[in-house]
């Protein structure tokens, strides 16, 4: 077998010295290996030539199989590159995707459910995230990484040392800084191709419609029911889809609320705020650190699916994730005709 490798090396070196094209050199080596395999098949056991070239055709079959896998993988990489570059002129906005963007989003573009059109939709989308805490942190990071063109983030809080156990978009050096600015700096550092709009304030009934009205989709990761109901009522009034999630200790839940598409709104599922004594805050009850990352990432994923029209969303379904026992339940949720927010009554915001 060593003799065959030496002969192949000689053929390659000679061809290189003579300026023979690579394709011709590979052809010569292929003919050589083909002749060796033929000799293995037709010559009897014990033949000196067969022994000198390996003695067993199965060994050559294994080597050829490994070589074929390598060539196939190389061809696949070329196809991915070609697929990533192909949509640039066909499906992108007038300015087009830069070469850096194409390379960055290549794993999206080769997905059949996303493709160039889906990546274009992501770049043209405007998403508002209410809350830059535990849920907002991973949601914001993945929206920025995915290439969502305009991302708004509203929060009136500052980074605190106790946040860093779970709010992964912030750093120790940012303690004391406004969360929205900390998040904006992290997002633009990760992806300079997105535009981030920080709103350092608490969302109020006076400005909710003005802010939310400028976005296509809203993600609510707040930790108080007053803001949740305000965001929900505003989204219902403006016909905006809302992805909302909540956490407690080891459990999280998430759904997409959209009465405009005949799905329930948040108030259909939770018509009344529970007694505060029955719903302790994370500071009072605790929350396991990675849980907001899991559920917040689900929020970003649902947002990407909604924008690109990929797969089946959580519209009309409530997903409940129990991290302690590694269980996921999905329950159907229906719009309530008697809902005070979306059940046919006038919504005031």
Asked if residues 269 and 335 have their Cβ atoms less than 8 Å apart, the reply is: no
Q: How many CB atoms lie within 10 A of CB 168?
A: 18
Cα dihedral across residues 171, 161, 167, 271: positive or negative: negative
Q: Which two tokens stand for residue 147?
A: 């290439």
Within 8 A by CB and 6+ apart from 254, the residues are 243, 244, 245, 246, 295, 298, 299, 302, 314, 318, 319, 321
Annotated catalytic residues are 282
Question: Rounded distance, CA 110 to CA 105, Å?
Answer: 9
Three-state DSSP state, 81: helix
Task: Check: CB of residue 84 under 8 Å from CB of residue 278.
Answer: no
């Amino acid at each position: 077998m060593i003799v065959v490798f030496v002969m192949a090396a000689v053929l390659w070196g000679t061809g290189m010295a003579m300026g023979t094209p690579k394709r011709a050199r590979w052809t010569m080596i292929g003919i050589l290996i083909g002749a060796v395999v033929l000799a293995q098949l037709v010559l009897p056991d014990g033949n000196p030539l067969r022994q000198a070239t390996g003695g067993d055709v199965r060994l050559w079959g294994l080597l050829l199989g490994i070589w074929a896998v390598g060539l196939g993988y190389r061809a696949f990489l070329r196809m991915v590159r070609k697929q990533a570059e192909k949509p640039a002129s066909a499906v992108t906005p007038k300015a087009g995707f830069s070469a850096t963007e194409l390379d960055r989003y290549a794993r999206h573009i080769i997905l059949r459910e996303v493709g160039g059109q889906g990546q274009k939709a992501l770049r043209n989308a405007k998403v508002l995230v209410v809350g830059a805490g535990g849920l907002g942190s991973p949601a914001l990071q993945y929206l920025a990484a995915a290439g969502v063109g305009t991302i708004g983030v509203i929060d009136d809080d500052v980074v605190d040392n106790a946040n860093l156990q779970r709010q992964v978009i912030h750093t120790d050096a940012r303690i004391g800084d406004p969360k929205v600015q900390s998040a904006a700096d992290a997002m633009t550092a990760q992806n300079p191709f997105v535009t981030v709009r920080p709103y350092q304030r608490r969302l109020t009934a006076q400005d909710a419609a003005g802010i939310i009205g400028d976005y296509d989709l809203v993600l609510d990761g707040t930790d108080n029911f007053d803001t949740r109901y305000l965001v929900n009522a505003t989204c219902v009034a403006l016909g905006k889809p809302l992805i909302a999630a909540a956490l407690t200790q080891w459990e999280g839940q998430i759904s997409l609320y959209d009465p405009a598409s005949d799905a329930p709104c948040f108030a259909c599922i939770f018509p009344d705020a529970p007694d505060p004594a029955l719903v302790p805050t994370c500071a009072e009850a605790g929350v396991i650190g990675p849980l907001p990352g899991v559920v917040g990432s689900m929020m970003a994923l649902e947002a990407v699916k909604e924008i690109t029209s990929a797969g089946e969303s959580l519209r009309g379904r409530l997903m409940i994730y129990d991290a302690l026992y590694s269980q996921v339940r999905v329950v159907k949720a229906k719009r309530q005709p008697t809902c005070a927010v979306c059940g046919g009554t006038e919504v005031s915001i």
